[in-house]
Amino acid sequence: MSSSSDRTPSNPRTTRIFDSLAVLQQEAADAFCAAVEETLENKDRFCVSLSGGSTPKGLYQQLASRDLPWDRIHWFWGDERNVPHDDADSNTKMVREALLQPASVPEQNVHPVEVNVEDPASAAMKYEQTLRGFFPEQPFPAWDLVLLGMGDDAHTASLFPETAALSEDERWFVENWVEKFEGYRYTLSPPAINSGERIWFLISGESKREALKNVWSGERNTDQFPSQLIYPTRWYLTQDVAS
């Protein structure tokens, strides 16, 4: 695991900048495959927490064509929308269509959030129990890799500015009321993200530039810039956002 001193935005060893989104996705796919190979030299399984959004979608499409030990990789969700899995906004639907179905990933290795639109609190607790059962006797999930994006408001996963989940330090997975959507999202808590051995941000688009600037060099204000709560091991950025 990288030391805490490595997990700083200013450390150039943690930052990769690419001329295009396609190249970023290609390089991230290569790094994903290398991480799987490295991990499985010493462990029986590779556990990844997935992100929604358009930037990781291209990564998932890349991975679907790779020669990976699919029966030894377990797929979880770092956050989810409070919609059925067949809804166009569902992260589960996106990942299934981009990666899991094309690659014929074994269903027993896929661990989606079982959404309950009417009772998100019970759904969040059920998923937390799923995680705790998969990572027994751990203070927080022992991810081999956490994939994250970042919004133009500096949110990551479904940790949005000025929401209750930002201060959660005991639960692993919670329902999070987001006022601007007038609804709930599901999300890993900050410590349940930071427990990853590898934590990668994948960020593209000029609209994210100001948010990244605030996260990296703005004042410490995690209520306004939730991504400041996360200690990544690597940043994958396109040139338009890094500029």
- Determine the structural domain holding residue 191 and report its residue range: 16-242
Question: What pLDDT digit, counting tens, does each position of 119-170 carry?
Answer: 999 999 999 999 999 999 999 999 999 999 999 999 999 999 999 999 999 9
What does the mean pLDDT of the chain come to? 94
Q: Is residue 196, in this structure, part of any structural domain at all?
A: yes
CA neighbor of 130 nearest in space, from 76, 83, 58: 76
Q: Is residue 122, in this structure, part of any structural domain at all?
A: yes
Confidence grade of residue 7 (pLDDT, cut at 50, 70, 90): low
Question: What pLDDT digit, counting tens, does each position of 65-103 carry?
Answer: 999 999 999 999 999 999 999 999 999 999 999 999 999
Q: Is residue 1, in this structure, part of any structural domain at all?
A: no
Confidence grade of residue 3 (pLDDT, cut at 50, 70, 90): very low
Length of the chain: 243
Q: Is residue 7, in this structure, part of any structural domain at all?
A: no
Long-range contacts from 123-129, C-beta under 8 angstroms, 24+ separation: 123/82, 123/175, 123/186, 124/173, 124/174, 124/175, 124/186, 127/173, 127/186, 128/171, 128/172, 128/173, 128/174
Q: Is residue 3, in this structure, part of any structural domain at all?
A: no
- pLDDT at position 1: 41
Asked if pLDDT for residue 202 goes beyond 80, the answer is: yes
Q: Is residue 185, in this structure, part of any structural domain at all?
A: yes
When pLDDT is averaged across residues 182-206 and rounded to a whole number, the result is 97
Please report, for the domain that includes residue 127, its CATH number: 3.40.50.1360
Q: Is residue 81, in this structure, part of any structural domain at all?
A: yes
Question: What pLDDT digit, counting tens, does each position of 19-35 carry?
Answer: 999 999 999 999 999 99
Confidence grade of residue 54 (pLDDT, cut at 50, 70, 90): confident
Rg (CA), the chain: 17
Asked if pLDDT for residue 188 goes beyond 50, the answer is: yes
CA atoms within 13 A on the CB side of 200: 24
| pTM, two decimal places | 0.94
- pLDDT at position 4: 41
**Backbone phi, psi, residue 206, to 5°:** -60, -30
- Structural domain total, the chain: 1
When pLDDT is averaged across residues 217-223 and rounded to a whole number, the result is 93
- pLDDT at position 13: 59
